[in-house]
Amino acid sequence: MLGWLKNRVLGVTSKNGGGSTARNQTSRGERKKQGGSSSKRNSRNRTSNTQRAPHPVAISLNETQHHKQLRVIPRAEHGISRTQIDDAALKVLYRLNKAGFKACLVGGAVRDLLLKRVPKDFDVATDATPEEVADLFRNCRLIGRRFRLAHVQFGRMIIEVATFRAAHDNSAAARQNAEGRILRDNVYGDISEDVWRRDFGANALYYDISNFSVIDFVGGMEDIQQRRLRLIGDPEMRYREDPVRMLRAVRFSAKLGFSIDESCRDFIYDQGSLLLDIPAARLYEEALKLFHSGHAETSLQGLREYRLLQYLFPSVVDHLADPVTSKFLELAMQSTDNRVQNDQPITPAFLFAALLWPELQQIAQKRVDEGLPYSIAIQKAATSLLTEQVRCVSIPKRFTTVMRDIWALQTRFAYRKGKRMQAVLEHAKFRAGYDFLCLRAKAGEPVQDDCDWWTQIQVGPKPSPAGSGDTDTHAATTRNRPGRRRRRRPPRA
């Protein structure tokens, strides 16, 4: 039985011609006959930058050794149930399988299900090309140039479908720069080749919907059992292919509580500078995953430990030796983690404002020493600081605007009477600015009096916009004052 499953995984045809490869080819041929116009449309839509790898594909000695360790774990032994998989993902898997394609749940979803965690999303891998996936699903759109993907949308749920990928060749479908970083990766292959395009062993497990087994080519099941993060292949080459894998290692270690394997850990210390070649927009997305997944505090510790924080937020590193700054960032991370765990809304603007606050204060103080008022100095400092920061992590303007509001409110919390105080209380970002102020006070900054006063003003009676004075007497005087008599116009003749 196990031998038959292995043959099915690798696409080996049986003696009587009943192999999965033959079935796939027959199904595709029948589909072309039934829908010739659709097939022609797909052929026109395919770009010259996508191709399938020539077969047979040469496998290195290292890969051959790993294939000898192939495990096909039947349903009774792995514990993953279809009731744990989102209905939308099951629809995609079933339809691909019914159309004659191989379809597997892959990546973090399989890993999380084995760890008895709730997956955040469900990714599917298949031998269907993106255009063939689009032909099967009307609610599908194709995205990506570096990695061509199909997104199948069910309401607010998006199932990402990727085609099995193979080793690179010299065609336009796969390109690397001089340092080994992958610029394009659209060479298609089969499942036994696709596993080598994955990053960590724990993320390289496939849940096959055709027989509900888990396929393990590289010892990923053992990595999960030992709670270990281990790169597939040579660590240096894999990090150079995609330096963001260093950030992913820190994130998965913080999220899952896994240890980073020693073979993968040493290279991070020496080659973090490879992140300088990554687009700032992509680093922004990685920063959100690091700090907005409920483990921001642990992620920050990991970035500091592996000396990667300087490539995301370089201005922060010089201030971490200050105990007040260190405490302030720790409290900000804890606050964000608590809100994520309690399903409360969060915004990147608050955490980014906290990370850049120490440097902002230092720049603003220099402007104050030059003679500028503190409120103006904060604005000038914010402009110069954000201009430098977006070169590393491209924070969108909709969030930098909120960051500016939070910072500007810190200069206005000294107002305690009159219309200016009322304007602060009615500010759209008052609550975010107030929370920021209280974190500063808890960290040891000399703003505890301001924090206490604004806390009391929110729970006590609302102050009059006119400022100090007896509001009851003022109201009584207003009520007893006779109104102006309305002058009536004489009727027209």
Write out the chain's pLDDT in tens, 493 residues.
444 444 444 444 333 344 433 334 444 444 444 444 344 334 334 433 444 443 333 333 344 444 547 899 999 999 899 999 999 999 999 999 999 999 999 999 999 999 999 998 999 999 999 999 999 999 999 998 777 899 999 999 999 999 998 875 545 444 555 554 555 556 888 999 999 889 999 999 999 999 999 999 999 999 999 999 999 989 999 999 899 999 999 999 999 999 999 988 988 988 899 999 999 999 999 999 999 999 999 999 999 999 999 999 999 999 999 999 999 999 999 999 999 999 999 999 999 999 999 999 999 999 999 999 999 999 999 999 999 999 999 999 999 999 999 999 999 999 988 899 999 999 999 999 999 999 999 999 999 999 999 999 888 665 555 444 444 434 433 444 555 666 667 777 5
Let me know whether 158 and 49 are in one domain.
Answer: yes
In a domain, 263, yes or no: no
In a domain, 296, yes or no: no
In a domain, 32, yes or no: yes
Give the model's pLDDT for residue 187. 82
What dihedral angle (degrees, nearest 10) is formed by the CA atoms of 123, 351, 303, 195? 10
Question: Distance (Å, rounded) from C-alpha 319 to C-alpha 242?
Answer: 29
Question: Distance (Å, rounded) from C-alpha 290 to C-alpha 308?
Answer: 12
In a domain, 284, yes or no: no
Let me know whether 33 and 169 are in one domain.
Answer: yes
Query: Could you tell me the pTM of the whole model?
Result: 0.76
Cα 42 from chain centroid?
32
Residue 153 sits in a domain of what CATH number?
3.30.460.10
Let me know whether 343 and 456 are in one domain.
Answer: yes
Residue 335 sits in a domain of what CATH number?
1.10.3090.10
Catalytic annotation, pick one of 112, 123, 135, 208: 123
Catalytic residue list contains 123: yes
Give the model's pLDDT for residue 176. 54
Let me know whether 178 and 37 are in one domain.
Answer: yes
Let me know whether 203 and 326 are in one domain.
Answer: no
Give the model's pLDDT for residue 228. 95
In a domain, 241, yes or no: no
Catalytic residue list contains 270: no
CB atoms within 10 A of CB 416: 16
Let me know whether 214 and 105 are in one domain.
Answer: yes
Let me know whether 312 and 194 are in one domain.
Answer: no
Looking at 206, 226, 246, which one is the last position of a domain?
Answer: 226
Rounded to 5°, the CA angle 39-45-51 comes to: 90
Question: Distance (Å, rounded) from C-alpha 386 to C-alpha 403?
Answer: 10
For tokens 């193979």, what's the residue?
166
Question: Distance (Å, rounded) from C-alpha 309 to C-alpha 297?
Answer: 13
Give the model's pLDDT for residue 181. 55
Structure tokens at 81: 């149930």
Question: Distance (Å, rounded) from C-alpha 419 to C-alpha 12?
Answer: 79
**Peptide bond preceding 56 in cis form (omega within 30 of 0):** yes
Crossing angle between the packed helical segments 430-443 and 397-412, to the nearest 10 degrees: 60
CB atoms within 10 A of CB 85: 19
Let me know whether 211 and 315 are in one domain.
Answer: no
pLDDT tens per residue across span 434-472: 999 999 999 999 999 999 999 998 886 655 554 444 444
Let me know whether 36 and 129 are in one domain.
Answer: yes
Question: Distance (Å, rounded) from C-alpha 260 to C-alpha 245?
Answer: 12
In a domain, 282, yes or no: no
Domain, as residue range, for 384? 305-462
Residue 272 CB burial class (10 angstroms; 0-12, 13-18, ≥19) = buried
Q: By the 8 A CB rule, do 107 and 214 touch?
A: no
Task: Kindly write down the DSSP assignment for every residue of 89-110, as one continuous string.
Answer: HHHHHHHHHHTT--EEEETHHH
In a domain, 393, yes or no: yes
Let me know whether 188 and 61 are in one domain.
Answer: yes
Question: Distance (Å, rounded) from C-alpha 252 to C-alpha 260?
Answer: 9
Q: By the 8 A CB rule, do 187 and 51 touch?
A: yes
Q: What kind and span of H or E run contains 338?
A: helix 323-341
In a domain, 74, yes or no: yes
Q: Extract the runs of DSSP E, i.e. beta strands, from 234-312.
A: 259-260
Catalytic annotation, pick one of 121, 242, 405, 435: 121
Catalytic residue list contains 199: yes
Residue 204 DSSP code: -
Let me know whether 326 and 190 are in one domain.
Answer: no
Give the model's pLDDT for residue 114. 95
CB atoms within 10 A of CB 39: 17
Domain count, the chain: 2
Catalytic annotation, pick one of 135, 190, 199, 208: 199
Give the model's pLDDT for residue 145. 76
Question: Distance (Å, rounded) from C-alpha 138 to C-alpha 256?
Answer: 36
Let me know whether 362 and 215 are in one domain.
Answer: no
Give the model's pLDDT for residue 63. 42
Looking at 226, 249, 273, which one is the last position of a domain?
Answer: 226
